[in-house]
Amino acid sequence: MQQVFIVFLLLLYVVFVKSIIFAARNNHTMNHPFRILPIIMKARRPSRITDMPAVRDAFWLKKGYTAMTFFGHIITHSAEEANQLNMLSGKEPNGKTPKPLNAFSALKNHEMIHLRQAQACGDSWLRFYWRYLRYWLQGIRLNRQLRNAGYLLNPFEMEAYEHMDDAQYLDHCPDGATGWKHYAAMSATQRLEHYIGKQTLKNIEYDKENAGA
Ligand SMILES: [Zn+2]
């Protein structure tokens, strides 16, 4: 219990310091970082969400990341990116998923996979984020071998990256996406080996495709 309290205090401290720096740089009021509070307060259970609206919130999204699933919303850096994502309902009027996927709809698919993963975590956002944090902590120990290992070797991300280009993937997951469980059963080192194996395979295929060109 004491540990949870210390983590909470640390988090509060980080938010406080970060909001001061952000306010100074962006000439904004201190209220800005707390715009996400209503999103958390009004969050519905993952299974009850059919589509996630995209909103711009530059404060909470780390540099280098395009978007983030946040309690049933997708957070982006710019209003333009949010608009583009909001134009994609995920389905065409005839109910079919559009093919082929462009970069933005693959991104939308990626975030929707996270939504369905939260559904598979006892239909709870808190359980999803708690697991996400645990997997991230397991991964960062391998940061020396792989840059950004906490993120890239996170079982939730591994499933989302593997299937984001497959427009039909979520059609086969009515009770939530569970591909992450396969990776969660592995040790962090095994995940690293799997990741490196996949990257090598991708490079070989890329070389083959370009050999004739
Ligand atoms: Zn992701």
- Output the six-digit token pair for 191: 């995940």
For ligand 1, the distance from its centroid to the CA atom of residue 25, given in whole angstroms, is 28
Lookup result for tokens 């080996």:
193
What is residue 97's predicted lDDT score, i.e. its pLDDT?
58
pLDDT computed for residue 96 by the predictor: 61
- 206 CA distance to ligand 1 middle (Å): 24
- Give dist(CA 61, CA 83) in Å, integer: 17
Cα–Cα distances (Å) from 78 to 20, 48, 61, 104, in that order, read: 21, 27, 11, 14
Q: Each residue's pLDDT tens digit in the chain (213 positions)?
A: 677 777 777 887 777 676 666 655 654 444 467 778 888 888 999 999 999 999 888 778 888 888 999 999 999 988 888 888 888 765 555 656 555 567 778 999 999 999 999 999 999 999 999 999 999 999 999 999 999 999 999 999 999 999 999 989 999 988 999 999 999 999 999 999 999 998 888 888 888 888 765
Is residue 70 left, alpha or beta, with left meaning phi > 0 and alpha meaning psi from -120 to 50? Answer: beta
Centroid of chain to Cα 46: 14
* Cα of 31 from ligand 1 centre, angstroms: 27
Q: What separation in Å is there between the alpha carbon of 18 and the centre of ligand 1? A: 23
Distance from residue 114's CA to the centre of ligand 1 (Å): 7
Distance 111 CA to ligand 1 centre (A): 6
For ligand 1, the distance from its centroid to the CA atom of residue 1, given in whole angstroms, is 29
* C-alpha of residue 60 to centroid of ligand 1, in Å: 15
Q: What angle do CA 69, 182, 103 make, to 5 degrees?
A: 40
pTM score above 0.85: no
pLDDT at site 25: 61
**Alpha carbon of 117 to those of 38, 90, 111, 161, 183: distances in Å?**
22, 17, 10, 13, 13
CA of 5 to the centre of ligand 1 (A): 27
**41: CA distance to ligand 1 center in Å?**
22
Ligand 1 centroid to Cα of residue 6, in Å, is: 27
CA of 32 to the centre of ligand 1 (A): 24
* Beta-bridge partner residues of 73: 70
